[in-house]
Amino acid sequence: MATVLEGTKIEEKKLQEIVACAKDRAMINGALMRTKEDPGSSTVVNHAPFTLLPSVVPQNLMKEAKGIQKSFNLLMHRVAHDHQFLEQALQNVIKVDDFTRQLWEIYITLREEGIKQPVSLGLFRNDFMMDTKKMEKNTDCSLSQIGEHAQLKQIEFNTIASSFAGLVGALSDVHRYTVAKAKLKCTKSQLPQNDPALGLSRGLVKAWQHYGNKNAAILFVSSVPERNRMDHVWMEKKIWELDQSIDVVYCSLTSLTSVMSIGRDKALFLNNMEIAVVYFREGYSPEHYPSQKEWTIRLDLERSKAIKCPTVHYQLAGTKKIQQELARQGAVERYISDEKEAAKIRSVFAGQFSLDLDPDGDRNAEMAINNPGDYVLKPQREGGGNNHYDDEIKTLLTELKNDTMRAGYVLMEKIYPWVQNNYLIKVGESIDLREVVSEIGIYGTVLGSAEEVIENEEVGHLMRTKYLGVNEGGVNTGYSCLDTPFLIE
């Protein structure tokens, strides 16, 4: 079984010593989360769930993932500004998915009224797995064989609330320490430096500068309670390091009702403080809009001249349906004229299939019903815990055979990720060497309008690792642990 531990065994006593030290190291480095029992307070915190050791990643795959991020940023920026494409792609989804419909109605209202702030900020994360399907699911290959044959395949592209940039940056030092304590051979370049929170925060500062009012603040729209508050604070810390004159304020969508106002020139105010940038760390899930007043607040935020991260059209561009539509022949090339770059983007797509109520959708549904283990069924939702697998797919698609609700889902080809061994450190759980699989996320920033791209950068990476057999991902939802890459040739 491939692992960073290949050829090395850690005795139990030594293992417990390294685990204890790793927890302490995670705490002092700031890889922290509030507790499940009291997610609204930072009085007591725990270390975030993390792997004891870094997971192996072929250097060529990491280079590939990072190398195409700027092209993906540009692709999604252009998609978000293409009304015709958004309308065509989402026309059936908005008939059956209320959450997407509400976002769409805000978008249409803004188009009809006229968009006051043409500049948008995207803090994106592009998630991949290392697919070993071409190796016939053989988990007994050597590291070099896997490095040669594994392929990068996209899971999803996140356009709102791309999280854990702060916590994963704090984990890099922890893994350098645990690798050294375990006496594993490692060069400096195999554990690369990584500070995505700095890169994302630089994007926020660039947007603040573009707004042009040195007295205006950056607003973090953040849930209350928020268990992942420390990740938000990491972003605030990096902003402060870049420019100590910038104020950062926090408020939830619900609380904005009583403290927010918009001036005649569409300037956004929180009490009496003007807001230059609105950074959404909530707003990606129906539960963030418990009543119509939250939707009204979202519309008013979008109406303002503050720069939004993301705008509602960026959020729509990040839906699963758009991902599926981009997999169609010629869709990427509509936005990326460089044939080589378009081919690189298309090479990481897994198979994507529409489930609209038409002959193609019927064929795709039948294909999944007959072979449910080969696919993943995805609704238009973010945040983890929403997808359907195996017999769930067969049952649900059979029930939805002639139901328009089927159009709210997309079907994706199942990926067979590289299986490794690692120890997962979660609060209150035993720590054993078990089979795990990993997901690689690449962070990117883009600032611009329909006419101009002002900034476009790749700014770091994330790894999340979970036990083999756990279908869903997500650290906040308890499925995954934070991880870092151990690069091999």
Contact residues for 128 (Cβ-Cβ < 8 A; gap 6+): 65, 152, 153, 154, 155, 348, 439, 440, 441, 442
Residue ranges of the binding site for Mg(2+): 156, 158, 382
**Which residues are documented as binding site for substrate?**
125, 464
325: annotated active-site residue: no
User: Is 298 one of the catalytic residues?
Assistant: no
DSSP string, 30-64: T-EEE-SS-TT-SSSEEEPPEESSPEEEEHHHHHH
List of residues 6+ apart from 448 with CB closer than 8 A: 77, 119, 120, 454, 455, 456
Which backbone phi and psi does 437 adopt, to 5 degrees?
-135, 155
Q: Which amino acid type is present at position 230?
A: M
| Residue numbering of the annotated binding site | 125, 156, 158, 320, 378-387, 389, 412-415, 439, 464, 466, 472
* Active-site entry in 66, 78, 125, 181: 125
Residue closest to 121 by CA, chosen among 218, 36, 39: 218
Examine the residue annotation and report whether 215 is marked as an active-site residue of this protein: no
DSSP-derived letter for residue 82 is -
In the block, which residue shows the tokens 């792997």?
51
125 among known catalytic residues: yes
Q: Can 63 be counted among the known catalytic residues?
A: no
Active site residue: 464, 473, 474, 480, which one? 464
Residues at the annotated binding site for ATP?
156, 320, 378-387, 389, 412-415, 439, 466, 472
Neighbours of 198 (CB within 10 A): 20
222 is catalytic: no
Q: Is 13 a catalytic residue?
A: no
Beta bridge partners of 401: none
Q: Which of 73, 120, 162, 163 is the catalytic position?
A: 163
**Taking phi first (over 0 means left), then psi (-120 to 50 degrees means alpha), and beta for anything else, what does residue 54 get?**
beta
Q: What is the rounded CA–CA span in Å between residue 417 and residue 419?
A: 6
> 378, 408, 422, 441: which one is catalytic?
378
Choice among 158, 172, 222, 438 that is catalytic: 158
How many whole angstroms separate alpha carbon 109 and alpha carbon 214?
30
Of 294, 302, 382, 457, the catalytic one is 382
Q: Residues 206, 320, 321, 344: which is the catalytic one? A: 320
Nearest CA to 14 out of 158, 183, 136, 190 is that of 183
- Residue 484 in contact with residue 194, Cβ under 8 Å? yes
Active-site amino acid positions: 125, 156, 158, 163, 320, 378, 382-383, 464
